Amino acid sequence: MKNLIQLVLILITVSHRCTTGTEMVVKYAMVGEDITLQAPEPNGKRYYWSWWLGKADEGHQIGWYNHFGGNQITTEESWKTRVSISGRMLTIKKIPEELFGTISCKLTVNNQHFYVTYQLIKLSVSKKPASALLPGESLSLSCNVGTSQSVDQPVVQWLNPQGEEVRGPVTKSVTVQDHGQWTCVVTKDRKVTVSVTVVDLSPSPLHQYTSKYSPLTIPCSIPAHINWTLLKDKDIQDVQWHFLPKPSSSLKSNNRQRLFSLSLDPLSWEVDQDRQLKNAPDLEGGNLTLTRYRGKEEDSGNYTCSMRFKNGVILSRSVYVEVLQIFSSPGAKLISGQRVNLSCSTGHPLPSDVQLKWFPPEKSSLQGSDPQPAHLTIPEVGAGDSGKWRCELWRSKTRLTFAVIMLKIEPKLSVWMLVTICSAAAIIILLLVLAFILYRRRQRKMRHLRPRLCQCKNPKGFYRT
């Protein structure tokens, strides 16, 4: 009984298919794309698919496939190289303009026929201009869907590189945010991307850290997809580096200084203000970075790398260089027992993703705590605190820079040492007094002896009263 019901159900389904007979599938494609059409699944063991250009049984047959795996493609030269049939799949390589329209598939199972028609609709996307743009230049993007009598026109939408919806067609004056992949959404599963290039400098970090003990790098570069030829085509006027010192760092020069300017033909840097900074060797490749083997206290400030174009557009990147230093109050020469404050700082608060780590001398009484403060207080320094104190800045697993200070600690004079020194001094003074007294006494004695000597040994010659 159950089997009978199933059989009836299957028969109903099949007959339903036979009576409705056709199904329509819409495919959007661009000229030159490869497309794959999938034939309906047979519900029987003996089946046969035939593919047609236009309507089945009326148009031009492209090929067929049967349940033995046998298949054939039309012998026409233009088709043989372009079409392949593998099981349910018909693939057309690099679809040409003239193939857009209708392709049909006829499935035959137990002498019953089922038809699928595929509406191939041409999709074309255009971008004007095709080349890279400077900010402010105008861009237009359009996404055109071919018309078909049997299919409603879909609503075409654009997504900008940030993924936000923009009603098409797009016509706008570009900004650097427009650089990237624009997507034309025709249907949920048919999207076309177009890449838009807007000239800009590569992103660079806002802060760079250095010290007297570590290198200074001020990054700036042209992204890899932009080259000097393109920049010259866009009428680049100049490329410069400027420096604005940190306000308090030195009183004499708080004005913006031009450090370098680029001469474009041939490419080479000209020094304007010499701060012993070196240019990266790969200028041809667009690396505008400045470096020095070691940082200096007066390096702190804002460095700007800028590029100016004939149409007035200026592209720039600024990097703030921070110099790490350790300060000791009251000083680096200390007497054991003194209270000392050490601070490790760039003069600005550290961003939340930068961690500070102290490395006191091995024998120091002060050992690591977490998190580590920028200011340390040693209530009473001892001999163990003398030596190298190091402070490091880290961003996740990278050490950004470090600074060092040498503390010299003299021992304090103790009471016993004072007693010993005083006693020694007293003894020395006593000895001196004693020596003086003895000397005086001896001199007096000599005076008494002299007359007697003269009287007895040589009465005539040396007589004196």
Contact string 365-384 vs ligand NAG (x = CB under 6 A): ------------x-------
Among residues 23 and 410, whose Cβ is nearest to ligand NAG? 410
**With binding defined as CB under 6 A, does residue 205 bind ligand NAG?**
no
Q: Are 208 and 324 in contact (CB under 8 A)?
A: no
Q: With contacts defined by CB under 6 A, name the span among 226-234, 287-295, 345-353, 413-421 that binds ligand NAG.
A: 287-295
The C-alpha angle with vertex 91 and arms to 86 and 93, in degrees rounded to 5, equals 140
DSSP letter at 214 equals B
Among positions 249, 254, 261, 291, the unique one binding ligand NAG when judged by CB under 6 A: 291
Q: Which of 16, 46, 256, 339 binds ligand NAG (CB under 6 A)?
A: 339
C-alpha distances (whole Å) from 27 to each of 3, 117, 231 are 39, 10, 41
3-class SS of residue 384: helix
Among 193, 341, 455, 458, binds ligand NAG (CB under 6 A): 341
Structural contact between residues 201 and 221, judged by C-beta atoms closer than 8 angstroms? yes
CB of 302 to ligand NAG, least distance (A): 20
Window of 123-131, 193-201, 279-287, 413-421 that interacts with ligand NAG by CB under 6 A:
279-287
DSSP-based three-state secondary structure for 177: helix
* φ, ψ of residue 130 in degrees (nearest 5): -75, -25
Enter the tokens of residue 233: 């085509």
CB of 419 to ligand NAG, least distance (A): 30
**Cα separations in angstroms, 401 against 54, 74, 128, 213, 341:** 72, 72, 47, 8, 21
Which uninterrupted H or E stretch holds 16? helix 2-20
- Least distance CB 341 / ligand NAG (angstroms): 4
Interface of this chain with ligand NAG, residues 14 to 33, rule: CB under 6 A = none
Closer to ligand NAG by CB, 328 or 386: give it. 328
Least distance (Å) from ligand NAG to the CB of residue 321?
15
Q: Closest CB to ligand NAG among 273 and 377?
A: 377
**C-beta closer to ligand NAG: residue 208 or 221:** 221
CA distance 392 to 138: 48
- Of 6 and 341, the one with the shorter C-beta distance to ligand NAG is 341
Q: How far is the CB of 169 from ligand NAG (least distance, A)?
A: 36
Q: Which of 280, 326, 366, 381 binds ligand NAG (CB under 6 A)?
A: 280
Start-to-end C-alpha separation, the chain: 173
306 binding ligand NAG? (CB under 6 A): no
- Binding-residue total with ligand NAG (CB under 6 A): 11
Helix (H, G, I), strand (E, B) or coil at 407: strand
Binding span for ligand NAG by CB under 6 A among 75-83, 282-290, 391-399, 448-456: 282-290
Binding piece for ligand NAG, criterion CB under 6 A, among 134-142, 283-291, 356-364, 430-438: 283-291
- Using CB positions, name the residue nearest to ligand NAG: 280
Instruction: Tell me the window of 39-47, 132-140, 268-276, 285-293 that interacts with ligand NAG (CB under 6 A).
Output: 285-293
The 140-179 site mask, x for binding ligand NAG (CB under 6 A), equals ----------------------------------------
Which x/- pattern, by CB under 6 A, does the window 57-96 give for ligand NAG? ----------------------------------------
Shortest distance (Å) from residue 261 CB to ligand NAG: 19
Considering only residues 330, 331, 347, 373, which one is a binding residue for ligand NAG as defined by CB under 6 A?
330
Cβ(208)–Cβ(304) under 8 Å?
no
| Token representation of residue 62 | 């492209």
The stretch among 241-249, 281-289, 412-420, 425-433 that binds ligand NAG (CB under 6 A) is 281-289
Of 78 and 341, which CB lies nearer to ligand NAG in the complex structure?
341
| Cα–Cα separations (whole angstroms), residue 75 to 62, 83, 430 | 9, 11, 132
Choose among 45, 150, 167: nearest CA to 102.
Answer: 150
Q: Return d(Cα 168, Cα 159) in angstroms, integer.
A: 9
Is residue 287 within the footprint of ligand NAG (CB under 6 A)? yes
Question: CA-CA distance, 277 to 272, in Å (whole number)?
Answer: 11
CB atoms < 10 A from the CB of 417, how many? 11
User: Distance (Å, rounded) from C-alpha 208 to C-alpha 43?
Assistant: 69
Q: How far apart are CA 349 and CA 326, in angstroms?
A: 14
From the list 373, 367, 378, the residue with the least C-alpha distance to 328 is 378
User: How many angstroms separate the CA atoms of 114 and 19, rounded?
Assistant: 9
Q: Among residues 278, 118, 95, 308, which one has the least CA distance to residue 201?
A: 308
Distances from the Cα of 79 to the Cα of 88, 98, 439, angstroms: 18, 12, 136
d(CA 135, CA 311): 10
**289 binds ligand NAG per the rule CB under 6 A:** yes
Restricted to residues 206-235, the positions that interact with ligand NAG (CB under 6 A) are: 221
Q: How far is the CB of 322 from ligand NAG (least distance, A)?
A: 18
Write out the residues near ligand NAG by the rule CB under 6 A. 221, 280, 282, 287, 289, 291, 329-330, 339, 341, 377
